[in-house]
Structure 1
Amino acid sequence: MNLDFSFFTWHIISTFILKGLVFSLHLTLVAMIGGIILGTILAMMRLSSLKWLSVPALVYVTTLRSIPLVMVILWFFLLLPLLTGQTLGAEYSALITFTVFEAAYYSEIMRAGIQSVKKDQVNAGYALGLTYFQSMRYIILPQAFRNMLPVLLTQTIILFQDTSLVYAIGAYDLLKGFEILSKNYNRPVEAYLIAAVLYFIICFGLSYSVRQIQKKIQIIR
């Protein structure tokens, strides 16, 4: 193999790569925040004793966790215009799809975190006159977030890796930038090798940060 990386200059990075990297990071951040918020609500619904709350949440989580993400992306991108007569574009479709999809996974993480808090603390909150939602807000959820923070961040790393799937609907993510670069310079092997190295550096750095955070949480405990 005659590999040549001389074409990979700062001009190439700023022209093809940065735009895709910014969108991938933006998609990850939006889907993480929106997914955690919606996932927390779903987790509280699943733990509710009211069937009209727990059953829909169970169906939502089970359904989305049973379908590949790429199929959800394609369904939303292709079927929504047929149902509404309007199209949101690849980028907005990806933002909504990822948020809705990741909420199902964050929900299960938050549910485990909530259940990890001892019921005695909930009863103590009730004894102080707190309502269910006040107990969740001031007692349960802060501890649940701390307990599940490493797992939440690990799921976010997986989310960043999954952003490459928006390639299926033509959104300009990090992988799309490398694809265009490979076609313009006829260097697909070099381009995808650099893409793999960049994904590895980002994910390895995030994984290392998660391990450091986990150590600090263990010290606090």
Structure 2
Amino acid sequence: MDYVLDLGAVTRHFGPLLEGLWVTIQLTLAANAMGLVLGFAVALLVLSPVRLVRLPAVAFVEFFRCTPAIVQIVWFFYCVPMLFNLYLGSMTMGILALGLNLAAFNGEAYRAAIQAVPREQRDAAVALGLSPLQSTLHVILPTALRLAMPVLLTNGIVIFQQSALVAIVAVPDLMYEAKSLATKTYRPIETFTLVALVYFAVSFPVSQVVGWLERRRAVAMA
């Protein structure tokens, strides 16, 4: 093998990678905002005693959990415009695909957390005369959010990594810019190694926060 490493060929063109990283961060933040809010709504629908409300929510969760994210992204980009005559920007489509995917997984995290809320807290809310909406917003949501936080953060890391899949539909994220740079410089090893380190540098600190939260919760429960 006569391949000679040349990191300078990549670092001299680091600007496009930074622009791609910014797009990736935007996708991740928007998808997480959507996933956190919609996921809680999905969890409430899944727990609904009304069958006509519960079943569509369960179908939504199972569809996004049981199909590959790459298929969901491609479907949104190519099928939504054809079926619904709805044409949105590539970033918007990416956010929708990633956000709905995340909402399904977050919905399951919220569901488990809601079911873990102590019965005493629910009874106290009723005793205080809170309405079902007030009880949900002021009692159930804060407790469920605290219980589900490690899983929500983990799901956020996963969606940050899965955002690389939007490169296949020409969203100029970090992975897309890396592919372009590797083709232009003929330096795939250096380019994709650097990109892997960038993903690691962003994901690792969050994973450490998740571990700290889990240890803290374990101590509190003990």
TM > 0.5 = yes
CA distance in 2, matches of 1:63, 1:136: 26
The residue aligned with 2:84 is 84
The residue aligned with 1:209 is 209
* CA drift at 1:192: 0.9
- Unmatched tracts of structure 2, length 5 or more: none
SS at match of 1:48: coil
CA distance in 2, matches of 1:187, 1:145: 44
CA distance in 2, matches of 1:170, 1:8: 21
Q: How does 1:70-149 map to 2 (within 5 A)?
A: 70-149=70-149
Counterpart contact for 2:19–2:174, Cα < 8 Å: yes
SS at match of 2:104: helix
TM value normalised by structure 2: 0.92
Deviations 1:104-140 (A, max 9, x none): 1000000011111112211221122112221111111
Give RMSD over aligned pairs.
1.6
CA distance in 2, matches of 1:6, 1:20: 19
* CA drift at 1:219: 5.5
- Number of residue pairs aligned between Structure 1 and Structure 2: 219
Counterpart contact for 2:5–2:190, Cα < 8 Å: yes
- Unmatched tracts of structure 1, length 5 or more: none
Q: Which runs of 4+ in 1 moved over 6 A?
A: none
Counterpart contact for 2:17–2:177, Cα < 8 Å: yes
TM value normalised by structure 1: 0.93
What is the identity, as a one-letter code, of the residue corresponding to 1:23?
Answer: V
CA distance in 2, matches of 1:86, 1:210: 38
Kindly, what percent of the aligned residue pairs are identical? 33
Deviations 1:122-181 (A, max 9, x none): 122112211222111111110111111111101100110100110121111111111111
